[in-house]
Amino acid sequence: MRGRKGGGFGLGDLFRGIGDLVELLKEMEAEGKTETTRTGELRGKGRLKDLKGVYGFSVKVGLGGEPTVETFGNIRKGEDGPVVEEVREPLVDVFDEKEAIRVIAELPGVDANDIKVELQGDILTLAAEGKDRKYSKEILLPAKGKRESLKSSYRNGILEVTVAKAGKGT
C-alpha cells in the first residue's frame, strides 16, 4: 500500500470508495441508522505477498447527535504514510451503565486462554496472541473501575468484560 509522502492518512486516502465521512453521516441520517461499520483487507504484491492489512471503522451517532468514530485493524499512520503492523487493534464498544462499565471487543481467531485483560484505574488493556493473530488495545474507560470486580467471558470471537465502578475518591 502506498502513502503520500508527507501527506495525510485521512479517510479519503485509506477508505477510497467509501466516500467522505460527512456523506456517510448524511446517508445514515437519511436511512435512520445510528450505527454503521466499514471494513476492508489489503494484500501485498510480489515479494510482499504475505503482507496482509485489515482495516475498518465504526460510526455511531449518540443521543445528542454526536458521531463517534472507532477505528480498528492493523494499519497505522506512519511518518511516510500507512504502515501494516503485526498487531491488530480490535473493534471495541464501551457501555457506561449505572453501577458498572461493560466492554465488548471483537477478537476472532484466538482462544480464551490467549486473552489477557488488565485494569489500572480507568485504563483497560486487552491483549491476545493466537496462532495467526495478535490483538492489543488500551481503552480509556468513562470512570475508574474496581480491579477485584473485573469479570470477563469469551465466546465465538467476542470478549465481554464487566467491571464495577469505583466509588468517589477511590
Q: Which domains does the chain possess? A: 1-85 (no CATH), 90-170 (2.60.40.790)
Distance CA 46, CA 109 (A): 26
The pLDDT, as a whole number, for residue 6 is 38
pLDDT band at 24 (very low <50, low <70, confident <90, very high): low
Ranking 18-27, 69-78, 90-99, 141-150 by mean pLDDT, the lowest is 18-27
Distance CA 100, CA 124 (A): 13
Percent of all residues in the chain with a pLDDT value above 90, rounded to a whole number: 39
The pLDDT, as a whole number, for residue 47 is 58
Sign of CA dihedral 119, 113, 127, 58: negative
pLDDT band at 34 (very low <50, low <70, confident <90, very high): confident
Cell of 94: 464501551
Query: What are the Cα distances from residue 30, in Å, to 4, 16, 24, 33, 38?
Result: 34, 22, 10, 8, 18
Query: What are the Cα distances from residue 121, in Å, to 18, 118, 125?
Result: 37, 10, 11
Cell of 126: 486487552
The pLDDT, as a whole number, for residue 133 is 87
Does residue 160 carry a pLDDT above 80? yes
Residue 79 φ then ψ, to 5°: -60, -35
Beta strand 100-106 pairing with 35-43: unpaired
How much is the average pLDDT of 68-73? Answer: 73
Higher pLDDT, 62 or 59: 59
The pLDDT, as a whole number, for residue 95 is 92
Percent of all residues in the chain with a pLDDT value above 70, rounded to a whole number: 73
The pLDDT, as a whole number, for residue 10 is 44
Q: In what order do the strands lie in the sheet with 151-155?
A: 92-96, 100-106, 158-164, 151-155
